[in-house]
Amino acid sequence: MAPRVLVSDKLSETAVQIFRDRGIEVDYMPDLGKDKDRLLEVIGDYDGLAIRSATKVTEKLLERASRLKVIGRAGIGVDNIDVPAASRRGVIVMNTPFGNAVTTAEHAIAMMFAVARQLPEASVSTHQGKWEKNRFMGVELFNKTLGVIGVGNIGSIVCDRALGLHMKVIAYDPYLSEERAQKLGVTKVDLDELLARADFITLHVPLTEKTRNILSAEAIAKTKKGVRIINCARGGLVDEAALAEALKSGHVAGAAFDVFEKEPATDSPLFGLPNVVVTPHLGASTTEAQENVAIQVAEQMSDYLLTGAVQNALNMPSVTAEEAAVMGPWLKLAQHLGAFAGQMTQEPITAVNILYDGVVAGMNLEALNCAAIAGLMKVVNPDVNMVSAPIVARERGIRISTTHQEKSGAFEGYIKLTVVTDGRERSIAGTVFSDGKPRFIQIKGINIDAEIGAHMLYTTNEDVPGIIGTLGQTLGEAGVNIANFTLGRAAPGGDAIALLYLDKPADPAVLDALRATGRFHQVQPLEFDVA
Ligand SMILES: NC(=O)C1=CN([C@@H]2O[C@H](COP(=O)(O)OP(=O)(O)OC[C@H]3O[C@@H](n4cnc5c(N)ncnc54)[C@H](O)[C@@H]3O)[C@@H](O)[C@H]2O)C=CC1
Ligand SMILES: O=C(O)CCC(=O)C(=O)O
């Protein structure tokens, strides 16, 4: 039986043609994404779901999607998909990481011009036969300072275009290395400096728990008087109500928003305010971008449904079916090693070295590298996948090197990942035991044997008596159960580490309580995708 695909958002007809040409049955129902009940009724009939941003793929929808094998997002952001729920159900989620980047960057630049010169209002007034030449006094972009928050794919294209307009570009992105900033021709600053100096601010970060409300009321209060703010990334990055107040008070001179806290946005505190330009999430809406993402998503989904080949998946490595059987646990280990290093590193990473020893040295190292880098970069951006992560890493100037060697110790094989920043190196190693379970076996050169769980806690301390008691008692009092506890030390009385596998995450109050004991150099919660 031919696989069946449902296209539930408006996608270029080229995608539909590709599915048909490849022998896939396709139903094109571009309005279904907005009709949750009807979607719930029909989703059980499909092997693939191709969407943009209108369709919300919730746990409830996935529960009804008994046949679903793949979700293809024709675009970048996957915040409309419950990816963990899809992973739990074995449904692959793919996106098209680069197809609409230029288009979205151009929209941000267009919005910046629009708000600088009040173009939409001037256009409406002129259509009405008024000739309000004196009402619309604008500002030049030339020589103004543009503050870019988030310098990834889209942000870096915005920087390039803005430099072409002879703007001065300052950038805030904690994961942007100095080297990459120099290459782009932008000045790296911290957020407060960006807020204080920028005449225009544009956002190009994904919506995550760290970036939500990044332009809060407090942040907006720190901006330069007369600033203009552009958001073509995601609703929820800016506090719309606080911005509306700042616009009314005259502190902020203008805003241009493509994305809103609630979409479709039928209401917003920004609506109706003068010099606020709004568009209905049009960032990716050009013929070229929609053609790019539609072709890419249809090809990727067809490949998967017909041959099992995986490309641009957010929750599955790109490996052949035969390799998957042998490499599965090692891929997971590589991802966990990257995730560990990523969560431990707050500074820009300049290089990553991955050493493969013994049995693992003979496997598909490219896929293993991708898994490790994806684990590392996912900490910064949950939208990154195994294919895009190495490209994103390279674009940031992160040098990735690989070494491999014959079996050198007690383990059949192991992987050691070393992350280099401007100031230091951090290493972590792991192996897969015969039970197929990945384990961490060495951190900072200290040997351990730690099972990997979804919620973990890493502490460092001096090797003195009573540390186990302090950890056990503090976590116990907070009702956090320890599933597994591993200790290691460099030498008696020297540096010591503990890695705890917890039944639930330790909340910030527990972490503070541990820090307040004064017994630890470091108390770091860690999360791993063990699904
Ligand atoms: N309006 C629209 O139609 C579209 C909107 N988008 C949005 O644009 C976002 C960015 O897309 P790309 O540039 O392709 O992603 P990207 O992953 O290439 O870049 C995101 C950048 O944000 C940085 N970042 C992450 N956390 C940060 C933080 N806390 N503070 C400052 N910087 C941080 C990352 O280091 C990275 O450089 C997407 O996640 C999506 O939400 C994307 C396409 C179309
Ligand atoms: O599909 C669209 O129109 C929105 C694109 C978008 O927001 C994305 O790719 O993240």
Catalytic residue among 73, 281, 396, 519: 281
| 521 is a catalytic site residue | no
* CB-based pocket (< 6 A), ligand 2: 52-53, 75-77, 100, 281, 283-285
Q: What are the residues whose beta carbons fall under 8 Å from the beta carbon of 149, sequence distance 6 or more?
A: 155, 171, 172, 173, 191, 194, 201, 202, 203, 204, 205, 214, 215
Same domain, 146 and 245: yes
Position with higher pLDDT, 493 vs 267 = 267
CATH code where residue 84 lies = 3.40.50.720
Cis peptide before 317 (omega within 30 of 0): no
Q: What is the pLDDT of residues 419-433, one digit of tens each?
A: 999 878 999 999 999
Has residue 89 been placed in a domain?
yes
Write out the DSSP string of 98-122: STTHHHHHHHHHHHHHHHHHTHHHH
Interatomic CA distance for residues 189 and 287, integer angstroms: 36
Same-domain status, 303 and 331: no
Check whether residue 57 and residue 175 sit in a common domain.
Answer: no
Mean pLDDT (whole number) for 284-300: 96
- Tell me the per-residue pLDDT of 139-159, one tens digit each, with 9 for 90 and over: 999 999 999 999 999 999 999
- Rounded to the nearest angstrom, the distance between the alpha carbon of 70 and the centre of ligand 2 is 18
What CATH number is associated with residue 477? 3.30.70.260
| Domain stop point among 392, 426, 450 | 450
What would the two tokens of residue 442 be?
């060495």
Return the CATH number at 416. 3.30.1330.90
116 lines ligand 1 (CB under 6 A): no
Residue 312 lies in a domain: no
75 CA: nearest ligand 2 atom? 9
- Ligand 2, atom 1: closest residue by C-alpha: 52
The whole-angstrom separation of Cα 93 and Cα 111 is 31
* Residue whose token pair is 């919506």: 207
User: Do 176 and 237 lie in a common domain?
Assistant: yes
Q: Does residue 105 sit in the same domain as residue 173?
A: yes
Predicted local distance difference test score (pLDDT) of residue 312: 87
**CB count in 10 Å sphere of residue 287:** 9
Label residue 1 by pLDDT band (50, 70, 90).
Answer: confident
Q: Is there a domain that residue 531 lies in?
A: no
Share of the chain above pLDDT 70, in %: 97
Residue numbers of the domain that contains 218? 101-278
Rounded to two decimals, the pTM is 0.76
Report yes or no: 438 and 329 within 8 Å, Cβ to Cβ.
yes
As for how many domains the chain has, the answer is 4
Residue 187 and residue 114 share a domain: yes
Cβ-contact 72, 51 below 8 angstroms: yes
Pair type for strands 70-73 and 92-95: parallel
**pLDDT tens figures, 47-94:** 999 999 999 999 999 999 999 999 999 999 999 999 878 876 778 899
Answer yes or no: is 284 within a domain: no
CA distance 323 to 152: 32
Per-residue pLDDT tens over the stretch 82-129: 987 887 677 889 999 889 999 999 999 999 999 999 999 999 999 999
Residues 6+ apart with CB under 8 A from 244: 269, 270, 273
Which ligand 1 atom sits nearest the alpha carbon of residue 205? 22
Same domain assignment for residues 414 and 470: no
For the segment 389-419, what is each residue's pLDDT rounded down to a tens digit?
777 788 889 999 999 999 998 999 999 999 9
373 within some domain: yes
Mutate to test the pocket of ligand 1, among 9, 76, 98, 398 (most ligand atoms within 8 A of CB): 76
State how far the Cα of 78 lies from the Cα of 92, in Å rounded to an integer: 12
Place of tokens 């203009």: 228
**Can you tell me the distance from the alpha carbon of 42 to that of 115, in angstroms, rounded to the nearest whole number?**
43
Contact call for residues 315 and 87 (beta carbons, < 8 A): yes
Q: Ligand 2 mean position to 445 CA, how many Å?
A: 44
518: in domain: yes
Count other Cβ atoms within 10 Å, centred on residue 241. Answer: 13
Hey, is 171 helix, strand or coil? strand
Ligand 2 centroid to Cα of residue 21, in Å, is 26
Q: What pLDDT sits at residue 314?
A: 85
Same-domain check for residues 147 and 135:
yes
The answer on pLDDT for 441 being more than 70 is: yes
Question: In this predicted model, what pLDDT tens digit does every residue of 206-222 receive, in sequence order?
Answer: 998 899 999 999 999 99
- The residue out of 450, 467, 489 marking a domain boundary is 450
User: In the predicted model, is pLDDT for residue 318 greater than 80?
Assistant: no
- Tell me: do 60 and 208 sit in the same domain: no
Structural contact between residues 400 and 377, judged by C-beta atoms closer than 8 angstroms: no
Instruction: Tell the residue nearest (CA) to atom 37 of ligand 1.
Output: 152
Q: Does 93 fall in a domain? A: yes
pLDDT for residue 364: 83
Whole-angstrom distance, CA of residue 193 vs CA of residue 198: 8
Catalytic site residue from 263, 291, 323, 395: 263
pLDDT above 70: residue 388: no
Stretch 16-29: mean pLDDT, rounded?
98
Has residue 513 been placed in a domain?
yes
Residues 188 and 75 in one domain: no
The verdict on 303 and 334 lying in the same domain is no
Is 340 in the same domain as 402?
Answer: yes
The protein residue whose alpha carbon is closest to atom 39 in ligand 1 is 206
Supply the DSSP string of 61-72, one letter for each residue.
HHHH-TT--EEE
Q: Is the pLDDT at 464 greater than 60, yes or no?
A: yes
Q: 134 to each of 37, 110, 121, 142, how far by Cα in Å?
A: 52, 23, 13, 22
